[in-house]
Amino acid sequence: MSAVFNVEEIFAKNVFTLGKMKERLPKNVYQEVVKVMNEGGELSKAAANVVAKEMKDWAVENGATHYTHWFQPLTGITAEKHDAFVAHPDEEGRMLTEFSGKELIKGEPDASSFPSGGLRATFEARGYTAWDITSPAFLKESGCGMTLCIPTAFCSYTGEALDKKTPLLRSMQALSEQALRIVRLFGDKEATKVTASVGAEQEYFLVDKDLYMQRTDLMFAGRTLFGAPAPKGQEMEDHYFGVIRERVGAYMKDLNEELWKLGVTAKTQHNEVAPAQHELAPIYETANIAVDHNQLVMEAMKRVAIRHGMRCLLHEKPYAGVNGSGKHDNWSITTDSGVNLLDPGDTPNANIQFLLVLACIMKAVDTHADLLRQSASDVGNDHRLGANEAPPAIISIFLGEQLEDVVNQLIETGEATSVKEGGRLRTGVKTLPDFKKDATDRNRTSPFAFTGNKFEFRMVGSADSIASPNTTLNAIVAEAFCEAADRLEKADDLELAIHDLIKEYMSEHQRIIFNGNGYAPEWVEEAERRGLPNIKSMIEAASTLTTDKAVKLFEKFRIFTKVELESREEIIYETYAKTINIEALAMIDMAGKQIIPAVVKYSKNLADTVIAVKEAGADASMQQDLLKRVSTRLAAMQAALTRLKQAEEEASAITDAREQAFFYKNTVKSAMEELRTPADELEMIVDKEIWPIPTYGELMYEI
């Protein structure tokens, strides 16, 4: 048991918060920091030096020995290279720690091995990191001791983004500028900034460490590549919101403590649908901080699991046949004067603003459904999206019954004269009600659902960074706001123009609204009739990044250049090929070194038994039949193993990244499935004592 702790005392203990800066910095420097945080720009050299010194002193007082520019390369996780605070000792051999403004603001990790999709030839491989002043520095406790982590963007020397943070920050800027134009139309003169807020609900699995260590697939691929279903899966629905087991509870307690110290507002925890599956949700915050914090959540989940003799699986589909893990990305946009643009508000004026924003979002999501789907793709998520699991790969918007009814009225008559409330219809209403999410009609199958005052983007994978989904959301909505503002700012009769625009956008993009069951096969057909894209895999989605439509969007708001988009597409193919290659190799290893030898042994035992039983003069037909069933599957496995090895060889000979990725998807993956099927059947037949790897039952229930 760890010591009793008080949330108020430990919260943000390891963060160099604004409060700490206010205490430690001279007033003028502090004001400069706040100004740059809010308005952008750069700190003066003098101010940067003062901030760096205070930050270092605070870090050292708290036990830090090193600092790092913490960044988010295109691997989807974070990267750090530690530098000690040590400097040259003085003449008497005394160490005076050092950290300058220059070191704070800019770093040059020789990080040439990160994916760049051809953006950096190795001779100019160095990228540089630049401090993101809007995300606070923090201390990370690990095996290395205490390290001061400075959130940074990572760019090439020629200025191209090599990370996930840079485009996100650019998209937030674009959204802010365009959203301000919208609120100005409605008479808001005070707001100076509009911020995207994000709350990411993180799902994960826990597994016992000793069992995990016996599974090559979990260790190398993060998911099981073999495994017959356990006698009990999730059909009883007894795990969802069930009592949290002791060991898991102790883990959650430790995890919360760790996250609170890092300033992460871990709020909700519960058991999820599948056995051994859980969820943690923080309170929402500014998008780029939420993105950083989600990375910290994922890291802490893994680290704390190790301390508790477990491993945390963030993979989207660790086990076939039970629910996978995702990450609901809750997103809203708020002015610095405190108005949430996704809140219907209390007055007719606020209502109209809300409906205009809604119309713009309908337009954005419909126009760029392909990009949004792409933003939520990673290798593991292919097992969820479009694979008969939640949510479907088709993007649609869920509005709920009341709001959909309002939209329908607007489309039909241009007016909304009634609202449905709990079944009753109130006619002639002047203001819209709060569209509070109502437990009975919340549609869990929708990939993009309106839930009262935010949208919940439910497609994101559990292991993925939430940077891309939010960059895309911000960008597409900024574009729709921009087009609306371009028109409305020129209107003679603003009220009429807004009215027409809402009606027009909603009519044109009504096809994106779908309130039905997103898992039903009929929806796939219906969506096709509506012309909505249904992109089934990560690599099929990759080319949506470089369509003319996408390039125009991202270049217009300076979020990505065409070259940056092309490089990202390239990286997707590379990542996919590498990941499937690892999975295939892990399978080859397990099949050849563990499963086949065990089954050979088992069939020898069986054969011996057959002979012995026969010699004893009894009927051995049952044993013989069993032997036959085992032998057939063993032969099938051996043949599939040979085919998989062959496919692997062919794959490695392909030089074009896109072609290679598709070969992995179409040929290697199906060879993997062919190998898995007889193996899983054998698992159901072969003596438990002989089966060489822990079963699904053990992995999911022995926690």
Binding site for ligand ADP (CB under 6 A): 197-199, 201, 281-284, 328, 330-332, 340, 453-454
**Nearest approach, Cβ of 535 to ligand ADP (angstroms)?**
25
Return the one option of Mg ion, ligand ADP, none that residue 327 interacts with (CB less than 5 to 8 A, by type): none
Query: How many other CB atoms are there within 10 angstroms of residue 666's CB atom?
Result: 12
**Nearest approach, Cβ of 437 to ligand ADP (angstroms)?**
7
Closest to 565 in 3D by CA, of 477, 479, 457, 475: 475
Give whichever of 70 and 284 is closer to ligand ADP, judged by the CB atom. 284
Return the one option of ligand ADP, Mg ion, none that residue 454 interacts with (CB less than 5 to 8 A, by type): ligand ADP
Residue 426, helix vs strand vs coil? strand
Give whichever of 391 and 533 is closer to ligand ADP, judged by the CB atom. 391
Whether the Cβ atoms of residue 262 and residue 303 lie closer than 8 Å to each other: no
Return the one option of ligand ADP, Mg ion, none that residue 282 interacts with (CB less than 5 to 8 A, by type): ligand ADP
How many chain residues bind Mg ion (CB under 5 A)?
2
Give whichever of 68 and 332 is closer to ligand ADP, judged by the CB atom. 332
Residue 98 tokens read as: 């050092």
Select the residue whose beta carbon is closest to Mg ion and give its number: 328
Return the one option of Mg ion, ligand ADP, none that residue 179 interacts with (CB less than 5 to 8 A, by type): none
626-635 contacts: CB < 8 A, separation 24 or more? 626/685, 627/603, 629/685, 630/599, 630/602, 630/603, 630/606, 630/682, 630/685, 630/686, 631/603, 633/599, 633/678, 633/679, 633/681, 633/682, 633/685, 634/596, 634/599, 634/600, 634/603, 634/678, 634/682
Query: How many other CB atoms are there within 10 angstroms of residue 670's CB atom?
Result: 13
Say which DSSP state 382 is in: G
Give whichever of 455 and 663 is closer to ligand ADP, judged by the CB atom. 455
Residues 194-253 that bind Mg ion (CB under 5 A): 201
How far apart are alpha carbons 270 and 244 in whole angstroms? Answer: 7
**Nearest approach, Cβ of 454 to ligand ADP (angstroms)?**
4
Strand-strand pairing, 145-156 and 64-70 = parallel
Give whichever of 270 and 303 is closer to Mg ion, judged by the CB atom. 270
Return the one option of ligand ADP, Mg ion, none that residue 178 interacts with (CB less than 5 to 8 A, by type): none
**Nearest approach, Cβ of 470 to ligand ADP (angstroms)?**
11
| Helix spans in 242-335 (H) | 246-261, 287-307
Give whichever of 80 and 201 is closer to Mg ion, judged by the CB atom. 201
What residue has token string 């004001």?
A: 31
Give whichever of 331 and 505 is closer to Mg ion, judged by the CB atom. 331
Residue 184 tokens read as: 């100005």
Return the one option of ligand ADP, Mg ion, none that residue 261 interacts with (CB less than 5 to 8 A, by type): none
Select the residue whose beta carbon is closest to ligand ADP and give its number: 199
Give whichever of 328 and 633 is closer to Mg ion, judged by the CB atom. 328
Amino acid at site 416: A
Question: x/- site string to Mg ion, residues 145 to 184, per CB under 5 A?
Answer: ----------------------------------------
Residue 139, helix vs strand vs coil? strand
Pick from 328, 368, 509, 658 the residue near Mg ion by CB under 5 A: 328
Which residues in this chain contact Mg ion in the complex, by CB under 5 A?
201, 328
